[in-house]
Amino acid sequence: MSGTHNDHGHPHEHGHHHREPESTLSLRVRALESLLVEKKLVASDAVDRIVSAYEQDIGPHNGAKVVARAWVDPRYRERLLADGSAAIEELGFGGVDLQVVANAPGVHNLVVCTLCSCYPHALIGLPPVWYKSFEYRSRAVREPRVVLREFGVDLPETTEIRIWDSSAELRYLVLPERPTGTEQLGEAELAKLVTRDAMIGVALVKPPASAPR
């Protein structure tokens, strides 16, 4: 499974640590589920279903479709920027009070939640561990340019980096710039280029390797 045998209080290869051994955590959660099932406040099949939804159906590919639509349809883009929640409903998505912030020449957006881990999970799935990490939460607001460089994004000094600290129930999605050389691509192919990282703001969308320069 995780490949590490020392899991008590030490950082894992997956970059997070636990205060208790996995085996104890697993047992405690099973016990909690068992008690709540007995009290009829939880049903195991209901838990199965939501877990499966986040493992398979709800993920960055959904947000990518929204981005691709905004790239090909300027009026959709306007609607998306004006009312994110309504615009994503047009594509069959929902469950989030969405604010979309657009990258542009000279403007780059970066999303964080310093207080906990707020994230548009209904649209792009559950957040990665690094987004919820103390490192990201503490540093993204204060030294975004350094953090972005660590992510491999080197922006000109003249670019304004707008940081959005998701402190309320609005959730932020970055609308990345469409890469050059993609004019021939259809919406579905464009969506394939859009990564989770680009929609959080820690990456730019790369043109496909075969795109003309």
Q: Could you list the active site residues?
A: 113, 116-118
Query: Among 134, 184, 212, 213, which residue sits at the site for another protein (rule: CB under 8 A)?
Result: 134
Q: Which of 79, 81, 91, 130 binds another protein (CB under 8 A)?
A: 130
Give me the count of residues in the chain: 213
Contact 7, 18 (CB under 8 A): yes
Asked whether position 179 contacts another protein by CB under 8 A, the answer is no
Q: Does 61 bind another protein (CB under 8 A)?
A: no
Residue 51 is a binding residue for another protein (CB under 8 A): yes
Q: What angle do CA 105, 211, 184 make, to 5 degrees?
A: 85
Residues 6+ apart with CB under 8 A from 77: 70, 71, 102, 175
83 binds another protein (CB under 8 A): no
Question: 3-state class of 4 per DSSP?
Answer: coil
CA distances from 189 to 54, 102, 183 (A): 23, 20, 11
Long-range contacts at 84-88 (CB < 8 A, ≥ 24 apart):
84/173, 88/123
With DSSP H G I counted as helix, E B as strand and the rest as coil, what are the percentages for the chain, rounded to 5?
A: 45, 10, 45
Is residue 189 part of the contact set for another protein (CB under 8 A)?
Answer: no
Smallest separation, CB 65 to another protein (Å): 15
Assigned token pair, 154: 């080197």
Told to check if 78 binds another protein by CB under 8 A, we report no
CB of 136 closer than 8 Å to CB of 147: yes
95 binds another protein (CB under 8 A): yes
Number of residues that bind another protein (CB under 8 A): 92
81 counts as binding another protein under rule CB under 8 A? no
Does 37 participate in binding another protein (rule CB under 8 A)?
yes
Among 64-72, 74-82, 120-128, 177-185, the segment contacting another protein (CB under 8 A): 120-128
* Residue 54 sits in the site that holds another protein (CB under 8 A): yes
Kindly tell me which residue out of 91, 102, 163, 211 binds another protein, with binding defined by CB under 8 A. 163
Instruction: Return the number of the residue (60 or 179) whose C-beta is nearest another protein.
Output: 60
Judged by CB under 8 A, the stretch of 162-170, 175-183, 184-192, 204-212 that binds another protein is 162-170
